[in-house]
């Protein structure tokens, strides 16, 4: 068997521990950073949303992104786009970064009439879904 064939036969049986270890460390660091940002941003986002007539719920693992659900809580709540803009502004004020993935404030329509935005920050993003207000067409 030639040296090249010998190496390939060996390489199929052995994982590369340094690469796997580095990836695991990177994922753990990203998870810590995402959770740190969630702890920093969530009180401010909830306070602003409450003033705008929304309740904010956190869901998911908060490992790679921050998943938020906004539910209209008052009859006189603001438009969903305005809420998304305020949340984006809070992200930018706190992290120095905050922009919509689409480059503008156009939401993606999700099942049951939810409107969704991705608000990107340094190293992670907020996945915001806003449920429709009463009387909205789905």
Read off the pLDDT of residues 63-113 as tens digits, 9 standing for 90 and up.
889 999 999 999 999 999 999 999 999 999 999 888 988 777 789 999 999
Torsional sign, CA 50, 54, 39, 58: positive
| pLDDT band, very low/low/confident/very high, at 1 (cuts 50, 70, 90) | low
In sequence order, what are the beta bridge partners of 67?
59, 127
Percent of the chain with pLDDT over 90: 58
Separation of CA 21 from chain center: 25
Secondary structure (DSSP) of 30-92: HHHHHHHHHHHHHHHHHHHHHHTTEEEEEES--SSSEEEEEEE-STTPPPHHHHHHHHHHHHH
Q: Among all chains, which residue has been given the structure tokens 């689409």?
A: 102
- For residue 113, the model assigns a pLDDT of 93
**β-strand pairing of 66-72 with 99-100:** unpaired
Q: Which of 92, 90, 99, 89 is nearest to 43 (CA)?
A: 90
Give the residue extent of every domain in the chain: 3-130
- For residue 7, the model assigns a pLDDT of 44
Q: What is the pLDDT of residues 11-28, one digit of tens each?
A: 455 554 556 788 888 888
Gap between the Cα atoms of 106 and 130, Å rounded: 13
Domain 3-130 has CATH 2.60.220: no
């Amino acid at each position: 068997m030639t040296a090249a064939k010998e190496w390939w036969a060996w390489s199929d049986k052995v994982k590369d521990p340094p690469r796997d270890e580095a990836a695991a460390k990177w994922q753990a660091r990203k998870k810590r950073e995402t959770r740190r940002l969630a702890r920093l941003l969530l009180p401010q986002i909830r306070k602003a949303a409450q003033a705008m007539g929304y309740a904010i719920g956190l869901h998911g693992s908060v490992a790679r992104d921050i998943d938020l659900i906004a539910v209209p809580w008052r009859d006189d709540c603001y438009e969903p786009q305005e809420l998304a803009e305020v949340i984006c502004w809070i992200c930018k004020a706190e992290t120095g970064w905050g922009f919509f993935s689409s480059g503008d404030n156009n939401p993606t329509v999700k099942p049951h009439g939810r409107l969704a935005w991705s608000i990107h920050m340094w190293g992670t993003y907020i996945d915001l879904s806003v449920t429709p207000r009463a009387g909205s067409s789905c």
